[in-house]
Structure formats: structure tokens, C-alpha cells
Amino acid sequence: MTATQSIQPVLRSDYQPPTYWIENVELDFDLDPRETLVTSRISVRRNPEQSSSKLDLAGENLKFQSVAVDGKRLDETQYQLRDDGMTLLDLPESCVIETKVLVSPVTNKSLSGLYQTSGNYCTQCEAVGFRRITYFLDRPDVMTTYRVTIRGDKQSCPVMLSNGNRVSQRSLDDGRHEVVWEDPFPKPSYLFALVAGNLRCHRGTFTTRSGRDVALEIWVEPQNIDKCEHALVSLQKSMKWDEDVFGLEYDLDIYMIVAVNDFNMGAMENKGLNVFNSKYVLALPDTATDEDYMLIEAVIAHEYFHNWTGNRVTCRDWFQLTLKEGLTVFRDQQFTADQTSAAVKRIDDVSGLRAGQFVEDSGPMAHPIRPESYISMDNFYTATVYRKGAEIIRMYHTILGAEGFRRGMDLYFERHDNSAVTCDDFRAAMADANDVNFDLFDRWYSQAGTPELTVTEAWDAAKGEYTLTMTQSYPPLPGGNPGTVDRKPVPLPVRVGLLDAESGEEIEQHGGVVMLQSESESFTFGGLTAKPIASVLRGFSAPVRLRMQRSEAELAFIMAHDTDSFNRWDAGQTLATKLLIDAANVISEGGNLELSGQFRDAFGRVLHDDSVDEAFKALALTLPRESVLGQEMAVIDPDSLHTARQFYRQQLAESFQSELTALYNDQAADGAYKNDQQSINRRRLKNVVLAYLSALDTSESVSLVAGQFDQADNMTNKQAALSLLANLDVPAREEALAAFYKKYQSDPLVIDKWFAVQAVSSREDTIEQVKRLTTHPDFSVDNPNRVRSLIGAFTQNQVRFHQADGAGYKLLADYVLKIESANPQLAARLVAAFNSYRRFDESRQTQMQNELKRIAEHPGLCKDVHEIVQRALR
Ligand code: PHE
Ligand code: ZN
């Protein structure tokens, strides 16, 4: 492939239906580590809307063997081969095309297509990996049924799986055997999967509400067979929830999940045969934290929910990715909210959105949730498509209510089951089912950037009227990308409530959602006897940055009284952000710091509030992360921010030492590990409290943390203590790291944690430590989890990654260049850490820019990294 060929962007506006449709496909695999023979027979029929007799099939990294049409081998005048595919020049209206290719799973380190992981075979086809397996119409609007024959060695591949139902199995000569699978549901090629190897199965069942028994199978490497029960229970809960909430039943008689160690993403929803990063399957209390348990449940749910939102109804083209991802993320968020606490889940999700998506949406990669162009589709599995996409779906839900949303979903499935559709089709179903006009919502799909919502208030004492004026605008974005200019106002559902300024009570008649449909509008609330305190954007009802002038006293009031938990928490975060940025500015000007009395009091009230659950309290006591604080600074000053935040942590710990200690001891008195919600919440609070106590950095506090590390009977408490120790400069640190390594060295998921706690340490020698760890025998550039746990985690360490001498930047750039040719997707994700370079001071900007240029000039740079870097430098 020449450079210019590969860097042509694909445009949304260029969509064309295919010249042929595929009626069915038969795939044949003769498994071999270096030379797997793939034979495919596709029955095609000309698209009646097109008259061309030419057919382009995509193909990449394939060793071509032969092509035949209706049993006749073609000669070289009848087809053209390219590095990215093959054109069949003159096909009849319908025919069977048979191709034979060789692929090499063992040398495939990109983890796209057919590859080996821990000696087993596995595939990953989304978005465009199927073309690395065979020549095909590798595009999601081509849906067809698959019959798959797998032949492999009985010894090394006792288990051979594909989508759908196993229809036959037989022994062959030479120690090989053969299995045939048939998937009755038409699907696009990105949902194809094949897995083969030495795997064990953890089984369960689910009976659907119409009484069908579904076999549930979780396939893992033999040593992990005892770590699957949580995943299985999560799957059963997900299946039940989708029936209860959306009336959606599972459609095959078998649902399989396979856990693999080498995987670029979290998991993949292949029809009937999900492939998961083992991180989102395997769990025992001794090896997985409460957060891991929660993530496993959420990812299992997410992939399961895709069976309807993604598989039964799929995307017409990849620009529509948010059609399935935004919707499915929203569904998994609602599921988790129902299993745990809706308020806490919402806070966790919005913090994630602000920390990740807001940053993306204000930098060079800013794109609409439905992008207009891409060079590599893999670069558009983004926080924007997923998380902002989910926020857009949430707004339909907020506007229509749960019942109206359900009517829209029902109509969506009624209209589009078994087809490949667009975001417009989804919007139309929501509108038509409810007789609501969602035309303006189109702007949410075509505009990039986070809107700012400025709210001002006015009080007319004579009339007893309180008015909120809301104005929306878009901050400018680095130019050149579609969706970043000429942006128009978007429809914003803003949930508001008024609180009595004396009693703090909710003024019931005024709560609800107001719709801001234009640039600016005023909303007046009458019949009031005194000026109320407004609670605006409750539940974070729209994905915007809220700008509202608030006194510290008002924020403290909302923290104490709001009936909306999200805003209670958010008021605290707003107050803390304001104070911490002031403090950072004081530091950079060489002034003296002081803890705000206002904030100390507010913190104390939260600490003593017995009306909230422990998980909420844990969140309310947590200061905003450094990366979130940075976003609110004109020029990010990582050092001053870090010092300011440390100062606050230490001052709060000193001010409340006895209360914190008492709270810690109370939570610590729980006895042996349990994993019910209440115990999880209590551990969450306990570890937030321990983090404050550790900020005291006294010998007592160190032994408290070290004591928790030594005595912990579960990974949540152990890891929490280890990550605190990792920040310290005490002998207990090295002892704990060594003990942890020794105990868990055979468990890669736990060793990932060991790498990560060191990479996110705030110690001044962190860069040196990270460099040293890249030479550790357990570090591997081929394993994405390991690379993310060391290099990825390090880029999230704002104060150390952005060390003024640029050593962190160099480290990242070196690693990106080291892995880019083997695993372009992973390299592109890592390099995105440079995307915020314009937000830093000149010296840091220049250093980051220089690293970006060094990468850009690398000969033969893969197109994934090329796309990110050229957007950043533009
Ligand atoms: N479709 C997967 C999900 O969100 C993510 C994924 C994308 C996995 C691309 C692998 C490759 O559930
Ligand atoms: Zn998904």
C-alpha cells in the first residue's frame, strides 16, 4: 500500500449501497499457526438498484491462493488484486464466488483479524478486521447468514467455536477434527467470530420469559475456571433486565463468552459468541476489586444488550457507530443504576465524561458523535461516540419519560429488525412513536464541541417572580474539522428545581424540565414570597459545561440541601474546583496557602451527614481529579495544581483527623469480606478516608496504610493501600510492592495493577520507575493490558507525565514508535495523550509538538497514528 493510497479519508457523504448483496456465506478454516487456509464461498446477487457487474471485495494481509466463480477458476484478466482488496470485473447477476487465502495468526500482533493469544486462536472483526480473514464485502450494511466449518488439531484445539449453533462435529485423520457452526440470523461481517484452543467452560442457563432455555457458556483458560461465576450471574441479570425494561428476549439457544488475554478493547458483541478482554470476565475477591466487579457486570451487560441494539438492528455504515454504541452505553448505564444506586452511578458517569470526553471534545480530535470523515475507523471508537452518544440518548429519555422512550424503542425494532440503519432512523422512531418533533436534535449528531450553558438569575420581589435566563454557546475549536464551525443552538433539556432559601426545602410546584431550544431564553417562576435558590441541570440533564455565578455560601447551601443528589455532589465539586484553582494560582505566584473555612465547614457537614449512603459520601468527600481541575485553568499548571490539591488533602486530614480516624475504624470493623452493595459502599468510603489519613504522612498514618495492606482479605482494600503506599517515600512502600508481586506474579490481571500503581504514583522519580519497569521481565509490548497498565496509566498521571523537562513526553513518543507498526490501534490510543498540548505553557507545548513531529516524520508510520498526529499538528 502506498502512503497516499492509505491516507485518503473516507467521507460520510460518500455512502453508496453495494453493487451486490450476499445471500449466504460458507467459510472453511484449516487452522494452522502460520498458514491457516481460509476458503469462502459467497453467494451474491446484483443489487437491483445498481447496474454494475463489477464487485469490489475488501482484503488485507491475505496471501491470495485462488478465486473461482460458479466453480470456474478465474484467470488474471477477470479480476484485479490490490493491497486493500480485489475487484471482480464482470460477474453475472447471481453467482457463487469461491476464494482461497492463507493467513498467519501467530505473527498477527495487531489483534485484528485472526490471531493467537496465549496459544489459542481468536478473531476480532470490528470494525474492519474481517477483511484480514477473507475477501469480502466487509461493510455493516451487507448482512448475511454464515455456515462455518473449522478443522483443527484435537490436541491443541479441543474446543472450536463460532457464531450460532453447532450443527455437526466429527473426527478426521492425522489427529484433527472438524466442527460446523450455523448462525440463522443474518449479520454483518464485523460480528463474525471464531475461537479455538484449549479452553474450559463454566456453564449456566437462563430461561427466557417465553419459556425457552438458553445455555450460557463462559470459556476460559483452564487455570481461570474458578473465576467465572460473577460474569455468569451478571449475564443472567442482564438478560432478565432487558426483558423487564425493554421487553427484549434473547434469540438463540446458546450464548457464549470467551475470555482472552490479548485484546485491544474491552469486549466484543459477536453474535452468540462474545469475545472479552479477560479483565472484564475473571473475578475472585482476592484478585478483583469492587470496581472490577462492577465493570465486569457493566461490560457483560453492554455486550449482551448489543444483541438487540447493534446486532439485530445494526449500522448502515461506520459513521453511524453511535447508533449502536451511544444507545447501548445508555442501556448499560440504566442497568447498573438499577442494580446499585442511580445517584452514585450518575455521578461516576458524569465524572468519567468530564475527565475523558470533555477533553477530547475541546481538542484536535473533537468530532460530532456521528463523525463526517475518518482515515482509520478504529480511531473513532471514542469517548465522544460512546459517552457523549449515551448522553444524547439520555436526553430523549429525559424528554419523553421512560414510557415514551420505550414506545420509541418498540417502534425502532418494529421498523428495523434485521436491518442496517442510520441515526436518523432512530431519531425518527423516537419522534414518530411519540408525535414529538426531534428535527433540531439532528444538530447533536452533526456538531462537535461541548456547549456552554450560561445561566443568570433575576428576582422581582414586587411580583414574587424569579427568572432564570439561559444562554448557550460553543467555545471555538482548533479549526479544520467538520462540525466545528457555524454551529447552531442545540435543544437542551434543563432539569431545574427551586429551594426555599430559608428552610432549604424543595418548592414542589416549580421542579421539572425546561427546554432551551434557541440561543437564549428566560424562564420565570411565579408565586414566590422570597428569592429561592435554584438548582440547575439536575442529574446532569444535558452534556454541557454549566456556567453560573454562585457564591461560596450558595454552593455550600446546595451541597447541604438539594434534593437532587447529583447537584449536591456537583456543588461540592464546583466549590472545590474554584478554591483549588485559586490555590494553584497563589502557589504559582509564590504566595501562602490557606484552607478555606467555608470549604472546611462544608466538608465537615458531609462527613457528619448520616442521611446519605456511604458510596455517595465517598464521592462527596473526594476532591476533583487534577485532570478535571486543569480543564478549568486558562493555562494548565500541573505542578501548582498538584501541590494545591495535596495541600488541601493534608489540611482537611489534619482538621478532621479524629473524625476521619473514627470513621475509618467504624468501617474497618466490618469483619470478613462480603460483596453485597452495602459492604461495597462501606469499602469505598473507608478507602477514601484512608487516603485522607495517608496524606498526613506521619508514622502512624503509614502504619495504618501498611496495616491495611498486610491484613486485607480482598483486593479492594489491598490495592487501595498499595496505591497509597506507592506515593510515599517509606520502606513500607518497597516491602508492599515486593510482597504484592510475589503473591500475585502468576496472575496477569493483578500484575497489571502492580504496574499501574507505580505508573500513577505522584513521586518525583516516577518517570525513572516507569522506564525501569519497561525492562521488567513481565513487561510486554504485545499485550495491550500490560502496555495500558504502564504507559497508558502513566499518561493519566498529569503531574508526572507533564514534568517540565519533557522526559514524560519523550517516554511516550518512544513507546508509540516502538509499537505502532505491530499494533496501530493501541499506539493511536496512547498518542492521543498529546492532544491537549495547546492547553499548557509554551515550553511544554513546544516539547509536545516536537515529539508529535518526531512521530509524524517516522518512516512508514501506520495510518492510525498518522491520523491522530496530523490532526494534532494542524
Ligand atoms: N463493539 C465493542 C463494544 O463497544 C467495542 C469494540 C470495538 C471491540 C472494536 C473491539 C473492536 O462493545
Ligand atoms: Zn459497544
Averaged pLDDT for residues 421-427: 99
Query: Interface pTM (ipTM) of the complex?
Result: 0.99
Choose one of 296, 328, 381, 386 to mutate for the ligand 1 pocket test, by most ligand atoms within 8 angstroms of C-beta: 381
Query: Which ligand is the nearest neighbour of the Cα of 191?
Result: 1
Name the 3-class secondary structure at 86.
Answer: strand
- Digit-coded pLDDT (tens) for 526-576: 999 999 999 999 999 999 999 999 999 999 999 999 999 999 999 999 999
- Digit-coded pLDDT (tens) for 199-225: 999 999 999 999 999 999 999 999 999
Percentage of residues in the chain having pLDDT higher than 90 = 97
What residues sit around ligand 2, an ion, with C-beta below 5 angstroms? Answer: 325, 328
Q: Distance between CA 69 and CA 696 in Å, rounded? A: 76
Centre of ligand 2 to C-alpha 720, Å, is 29
- Digit-coded pLDDT (tens) for 81-112: 999 999 999 999 999 999 999 999 999 999 99
Centre of ligand 2 to C-alpha 384, Å, is 13
Centre of ligand 1 to C-alpha 267, Å, is 6
On the question of pLDDT at 4 being above 60, the answer is: no
Going by pLDDT thresholds of 50, 70 and 90, the confidence category of residue 333 is very high
Decide: 469 and 520 in contact? Cβ < 8 Å.
yes
SS (H, E, C) 540-597: HCCCCEEEECCCHHHHHHHHHHCCCHHHHHHHHHHHHHHHHHHHHHHHHCCCCCCCCH
Centre of ligand 2 to C-alpha 329, Å, is 7
Please work out whether the CB of residue 124 comes within 6 Å of at least one atom of ligand 1: yes
| Angle, vertex CA 392, rays to CA 386 and CA 395, nearest 5 | 140
Q: Distance between CA 250 and CA 31 in Å, rounded? A: 31
Decide: 765 and 733 in contact? Cβ < 8 Å.
no
Name the 3-class secondary structure at 639.
Answer: helix
Going by pLDDT thresholds of 50, 70 and 90, the confidence category of residue 480 is confident
Provide DSSP, 99-155: EEEEE-GGG--S-SEEEEETTEEEEE-TTTTGGGTS-B--STT--EEEEEEEEEETT
Which residues partner with 121 through β-bridges?
Answer: 116, 196
Query: What atom of ligand 1 comes closest to residue 127's alpha carbon?
Result: 9
Q: Distance between CA 414 and CA 428 in Å, rounded? A: 13
Decide: 287 and 350 in contact? Cβ < 8 Å.
no
On the question of pLDDT at 6 being above 70, the answer is: no
Name the 3-class secondary structure at 205.
Answer: strand
Nearest CA to ligand 1 atom 9: 126
Q: How many CB atoms lie within 10 A of CB 593?
A: 14
Nearest CA to ligand 1 atom 5: 268
Contacts of 469 (CB under 8 A, 6+ apart): 455, 456, 457, 458, 520, 521, 522, 523
Choose one of 124, 128, 132, 265 to mutate for the ligand 1 pocket test, by most ligand atoms within 8 angstroms of C-beta: 265
For residues 27-50, b (16+ Cβ closer than 10 Å) or e, as one string? bbbbbbeeebbbbbbbbbebeeee
- Mean pLDDT, the chain, integer: 97
Which residues partner with 95 through β-bridges?
Answer: 44
Nearest CA to ligand 1 atom 2: 268
What torsion do the CA atoms of 626, 632, 638, 641 make, to the nearest 10 degrees? -70
**How would you classify the pairing of strands 520-525 and 465-473?**
antiparallel
Please work out whether the CB of residue 111 comes within 6 Å of at least one atom of ligand 1: no
Query: Which ligand is the nearest neighbour of the Cα of 381?
Result: 1
Nearest CA to ligand 1 atom 8: 268
Q: Which three cell numbers stand for residue 194?
A: 471464531
Give the containing element (helix H, strand E) for 603.
helix 597-608
Of 149 and 481, the structure prediction assigns the larger pLDDT to: 149
Name the 3-class secondary structure at 313.
Answer: strand
Decide: 231 and 283 in contact? Cβ < 8 Å.
yes
Pick the closest to residue 618 from 292, 291, 285 (CA basis): 291
On the question of pLDDT at 585 being above 60, the answer is: yes
842 part of the active site: no
Averaged pLDDT for residues 255-267: 98
Burial class (CB in 10 A: 0-12, 13-18, 19+), 573: buried
Decide: 195 and 121 in contact? Cβ < 8 Å.
yes
Averaged pLDDT for residues 621-645: 97
Q: Distance between CA 349 and CA 525 in Å, rounded? A: 31
Please report, for residues 514, 640, 665, 674, 815, the alpha-carbon distance to residue 286 in angstroms, rounded to integers and kept in the order given.
Answer: 48, 38, 22, 12, 32
Percentage of residues in the chain having pLDDT higher than 70 = 99
Going by pLDDT thresholds of 50, 70 and 90, the confidence category of residue 2 is very low
* Confidence at residue 669, expressed as pLDDT on a 0 to 100 scale: 83
Name the active-site residue from 303, 506, 851, 867. Answer: 303
Could you tell me the strand order of the sheet in which 545-548 lies? 520-525, 465-473, 452-460, 545-548
Q: Distance between CA 293 and CA 679 in Å, rounded? A: 13
Going by pLDDT thresholds of 50, 70 and 90, the confidence category of residue 482 is confident
Query: What atom of ligand 1 comes closest to residue 112's alpha carbon?
Result: 11
* Confidence at residue 667, expressed as pLDDT on a 0 to 100 scale: 83
Please work out whether the CB of residue 269 comes within 6 Å of at least one atom of ligand 1: yes
Query: Which ligand is the nearest neighbour of the Cα of 330?
Result: 2
Q: Distance between CA 792 and CA 779 in Å, rounded? A: 13
What torsion do the CA atoms of 230, 235, 236, 241 make, to the nearest 10 degrees? 120
**How would you classify the pairing of strands 72-73 and 63-69?**
antiparallel
Centre of ligand 2 to C-alpha 275, Å, is 12
Name the 3-class secondary structure at 260.
Answer: strand
Please work out whether the CB of residue 381 comes within 6 Å of at least one atom of ligand 1: yes
> Running DSSP on this structure, what letter comes out for residue 195?
E
Query: What atom of ligand 1 comes closest to residue 264's alpha carbon?
Result: 10
On the question of pLDDT at 318 being above 80, the answer is: yes
Please work out whether the CB of residue 332 comes within 6 Å of at least one atom of ligand 1: no
* Confidence at residue 479, expressed as pLDDT on a 0 to 100 scale: 72
Name the 3-class secondary structure at 704.
Answer: helix
* Confidence at residue 728, expressed as pLDDT on a 0 to 100 scale: 98
Choose one of 115, 123, 126, 335 to mutate for the ligand 1 pocket test, by most ligand atoms within 8 angstroms of C-beta: 126
Please report, for residues 556, 637, 662, 668, the alpha-carbon distance to residue 610 in angstroms, rounded to integers and kept in the order given.
Answer: 17, 37, 14, 17
Residue 684: phi, psi to the nearest 5? -60, -45
Centre of ligand 2 to C-alpha 261, Å, is 19
On the question of pLDDT at 294 being above 90, the answer is: yes
Please work out whether the CB of residue 302 comes within 6 Å of at least one atom of ligand 1: yes
Centre of ligand 2 to C-alpha 252, Å, is 20
Centre of ligand 1 to C-alpha 264, Å, is 9
Give the containing element (helix H, strand E) for 848.
helix 842-856
Pick the closest to residue 627 from 464, 511, 800 (CA basis): 800
Please work out whether the CB of residue 126 comes within 6 Å of at least one atom of ligand 1: yes
Of 646 and 668, the structure prediction assigns the larger pLDDT to: 646
What torsion do the CA atoms of 757, 762, 768, 774 make, to the nearest 10 degrees? 20
Please work out whether the CB of residue 325 comes within 6 Å of at least one atom of ligand 1: yes
